[in-house]
Chains A and B, each alone.
Chain A
Amino acid sequence: MSRRKSISRRALLESMLAGGLGAALLPFKGLAMAAPDITKRIPSSGEALPLVGLGSWITFNVGNDRRALNSCADVVRAFFAAGGRLIDSSPMYGSSQATIGYALNKLGDPETLFAADKVWTSSAARGPTQIEQSRRHWDVRAFDLLQVHNLRAWERHLDLLFGMKDEGRLRYVGVTTSHGRRHGDLERIMKRHPLDFVQMTYNASHRAVERRLLPLARERGIAVIANRPYDGGRLIRRAKREVLPSWAAEIGAANWPEFLLKFVVSHPAVNCAIPATTQVVHVRENMRASSGLLPDQATRRRMAAHIRQL
């Protein structure tokens, strides 16, 4: 919904993604943008999304610095070029939304964009104004997904978001949490409300959500976005100091970013991970986790054990 101007390349892409519960192969070439060869479907709609999205906390909060804005636009360009779609932001992230808007304009409004933003205010009355401000910063017609950030005033904001969805002004509704906080509340909300998406922290060193939340998401048909897939950068920095195990090749992981991200996105309940980065080389590395093979359960256990030892 964010930038559809005609029957888009995305619609074409989706129509070709027939069948398959989990991964689907994209056989066509010749598009300006590379298509990631693994996608997962959003349970509530069947729409396919690549396994890796793009976060924007800290990395895109660069104010009015033109040099930094252009460098962020390069990251976004590399993201789309590698077949990326979902970009996540929030009014809490300083100038990040405006940076995304700058990049999208510079790139000519990629139609494959899946715009995911949040509402973050304790005042229910301010919700609509904040969402409109965010939309202006992104300079999109509408968001694809709006999430209640950190469950802040969630009851009132969910009413608003479900209302927007009913009116056709929004495609998906979600809630977010992070750092393992408020899992009890999240569980209750997931049980009681018809959410399309839920966002939570999940990575190889923070696996608490495997116990209840991820199985519940599967059971309830809620798509999961994994935030902080590198634990805010700590995990990848630590991993990159070590040699990648030789058996990583078995799951098609040529480097640590692929290894860590494939661990996250190979969980059956997880739809995508949203690493943030300031660097084009990093976004390219990250996007590679959206193609090739995915580890099976036994390999995931082996991966987790290996990461614990790092």
Chain B
Amino acid sequence: MSEWMTYRLSDFLMFSPSTYFRQFELYNADVWPAHIMTLTLGAACLWLSRQPIAAPQRALPAILAGCWLWVAWGYLYTRYATINWAASYFAGAFVLQAILLFLVGTFGKKLEFGGSIQRAQKAGIAIFLIAMIVQPLIGVIAGRPWVEAEVFGLAPNPTVAATLGLLLAARRWRWELFVIPALWCGIDGATRLAMEAPDFWVMPVVAILVIGLAAAAAIDRRRAARQL
């Protein structure tokens, strides 16, 4: 039997659930009232995605990139990394995603929104709104205190889920932008599962939903194009 087969998921968990979630409480207290600013930025993203002309839309990936950069520094590198040495690698991946968002979306102008709203786009907006409004409450539903709420632009999960929502809501899907968010969803799911947190399924479901809907819609589009 290979040595790896002797490991359980919980063997990789190097902190207790209370330590992990308390980090959000301390973080929220430290950065308050930045929550108002990041939620306003989120609302601005939604507004920008509905603008008919391309120029303002280019600000959207730049805002998202800024949020990813902040999460990389403000949470992953300076806080989470104090209890999980792997978090500095996660921070690096978040910086990479910020660069990709900026290069592909803002600089490369390849992330366009608007046009006719299909099922996938509607689902993308819905996921974005859930990430902004419902996700901070998930901890409370799971039985954790509200002071540990995870908020868009500050904590990784709502930032990743909102980004995935907006990527799905784009007119064309830039698959290279899906990779890091999807990986994060897997990592978060595994971490919460190991902690026996009741909301362990949320991020993996978001990733599966977004990628599944985008893939199905891409196949439909290809079929429709062939029939033309």
Chain A residues with a Cβ under 8 A of chain B: 57-59, 61-65, 68, 92-95, 179-182, 232, 278
A63 to B13, Cβ gap below 8 A? no
B82 to A63, Cβ gap below 8 A? yes
B14 to A179, Cβ gap below 8 A? no
Which residue of B3, B6, B26, B83 is within 8 Å of A94 (Cβ)?
B83
Given A94-B84, A94-B85, A181-B6, also A63-B79 (CB < 8 A): yes
Residue numbers in A under 8 Å from B40 (CB-CB): none
A181 to B14, Cβ gap below 8 A? no
How many A-B Cβ pairs are below 8 Å? 48
Chain B residues with a Cβ under 8 A of chain A: 3, 6-7, 10-11, 13-16, 19, 22-23, 26, 79, 82-85
Which residue of B3, B10, B83 is within 8 Å of A62 (Cβ)?
B83
A182 to B19, CA, bound (A): 31
Query: Which 9 interchain pairs have the tightest Cβ spacing?
Result: A63-B82, A63-B83, A94-B83, A61-B15, A61-B83, A62-B19, A95-B82, A94-B14, A58-B16
Pull 7 A–B residue pairs with CB atoms less than 8 Å apart, ordered by A: A59-B16, A61-B14, A64-B79, A64-B82, A94-B83, A95-B83, A181-B6
A95 to B11, CA, bound (A): 17
A182 to B3, CA, bound (A): 8
A232 to B9, CA, bound (A): 13
* Minimum CB distance partner of B82 in chain A: A63
* Minimum CB distance partner of A182 in chain B: B3
Residue numbers in B under 8 Å from A57 (CB-CB): 14
Given A58-B14, A94-B83, A94-B84, also A63-B6 (CB < 8 A): no
A278 to B17, CA, bound (A): 13
Residue numbers in B under 8 Å from A278 (CB-CB): 16
Residue numbers in A under 8 Å from B7 (CB-CB): 179
A180 to B16, Cβ gap below 8 A? no
